Structure 1
Amino acid sequence: MSSITVRPPESQVSELFRAAFRRHAAGVAVITAAGPAGLTVSSVASVSAAPPALSFSVMGSRSGRALLEAPSLVINLLGPGHATLARDFASSGGARFTPGQGWADLPTGEPYLPDAVAALRATPLHRIPVGESTLVIAEVVAVLLGEPDHPLIHHNKDFFIGTGKPAPHHINPAP
């Protein structure tokens, strides 16, 4: 591991920060709202089990702004068959909400993926601006569980399928 400079320039820290998080694998979700609006995120995290709450961050794209203004959202946790859909919702010109993507609407109007690993309907509790992003904390009000499957993972600017194989409990030291 390289040494840490006491106080590098802010632009250098930002670039190194992005590089560090490219090395951090994260689950992938498409967050949707009625309209429809949606985007791919890899920042979903559990906040609390009682009451059930989660968080995610959104940047200021058109889709991001629509999600920030929505009174309710669906967080679709993606599985191995969703890599193309994740790419489409990650880019501004990608196909969205097409019949072939398998969308359905909840009775409350939000689109969701019936074949997602899980779809969590949530209502925003807090929207906190942080730099160029907004951190959203939302209460989960309904959960639809799909088939248990391996998750879709984002790592180093690409999508992978989690294997489900457990990591070893110990690592043998190098000789």
Structure 2
Amino acid sequence: MTQVIRPPYLKGSVTEDDFRSPEQASADEFKNVFRNHPGGVALITADDGNGPVALTATSVFSISVDPPLLGFSASAISSSTPTLLQADTVVVHFLTDENLAVAKLGATSGIDRFADTSIWGRLETGEPYFHGVKTWVRGEIVSRLETAGGILHVVRGLSTSIAEGPAEDDSNPIAYVNRTWHALTQGSSLPAN
């Protein structure tokens, strides 16, 4: 099992105060900066043996291609975090406008995200995944870093499912900007020059 890494300059449990400084942006200022910074939308699923969990995230990012590493963060108060801390593997689903209902499902608190058994199943390796999502990465959690209010997870890609090219697929990636879902269409691209 992967251990949670605590930055060496911190003693004991990490708290929000460990990251505070007299000179720092206010919480509202920081939220306003990121409110208008688009984030790609992904759904992360895992099962530690006690049942599947899912959460929608805009924090997924590529770390390297060789080895194939990606990262994502999850809030310490997310109902999925206890499972993510115990799970060895996850499936990171990269969502398109065809998957908006799945994005909303993973973002809704207090519901059974796996109640509708017709929309999800298990990979041969046991991880829960959603059938309608064409692009995903199944990965092993290789590192965790405790942060103020959450955990940063580093995942090594073990296998992938990739959607066919744009000619065969009319779906568009979802971005989340200013608390609103957006589809990135061909018309949204900017000229190269």
Taking the TM superposition and a 5 Å limit, the aligned residue runs for 1:5-154 are 13-34=26-47, 35-60=51-76, 61-99=78-116, 102-147=119-164, 148=169, 149-154=171-176
Question: What is the RMSD computed on CA atoms of the aligned residues?
Answer: 2.0
Paired residue for 1:4? none
Three-state SS of the structure 1 residue aligned to 2:64 is: strand
Cα offset, 1:159, TM superposition: 1.0
The separation in 2 between residues aligned to 1:152 and 1:24, in whole angstroms, is 13
Paired residue for 1:159? 181
Three-state SS of the structure 2 residue aligned to 1:20 is: helix
TM-score (norm 1): 0.84
Deviates more, 1:34-43 or 1:93-102: 93-102
Contact kept in structure 1, 2:145 and 2:152, CA below 8 Å: yes
Cα distance per residue 1:98-157 (max 9 Å; x no partner): 336621210111111232141100111110011001111110000011345311111111
Three-state SS of the structure 1 residue aligned to 2:28 is: helix
Deviates more, 1:59-68 or 1:14-23: 59-68
* 1:69 counterpart letter in structure 2: Q
Cα offset, 1:65, TM superposition: 2.2
Cα offset, 1:77, TM superposition: 0.6
Deviates more, 1:60-69 or 1:128-137: 60-69
Structure 2 residue runs without a partner (length 5+): 1-20
Structure 1 residue runs without a partner (length 5+): 1-6, 171-175
The separation in 2 between residues aligned to 1:102 and 1:120, in whole angstroms, is 18
The separation in 1 between residues aligned to 2:181 and 2:117, in whole angstroms, is 20
The separation in 1 between residues aligned to 2:152 and 2:133, in whole angstroms, is 23
* 1:156 counterpart letter in structure 2: N
Runs of 4+ in structure 1 displaced over 6 angstroms?
none
Q: How many aligned residue pairs are there?
A: 163
TM-score (norm 2): 0.77
The separation in 2 between residues aligned to 1:164 and 1:68, in whole angstroms, is 38
Cα offset, 1:163, TM superposition: 0.8
Contact kept in structure 1, 2:99 and 2:132, CA below 8 Å: no
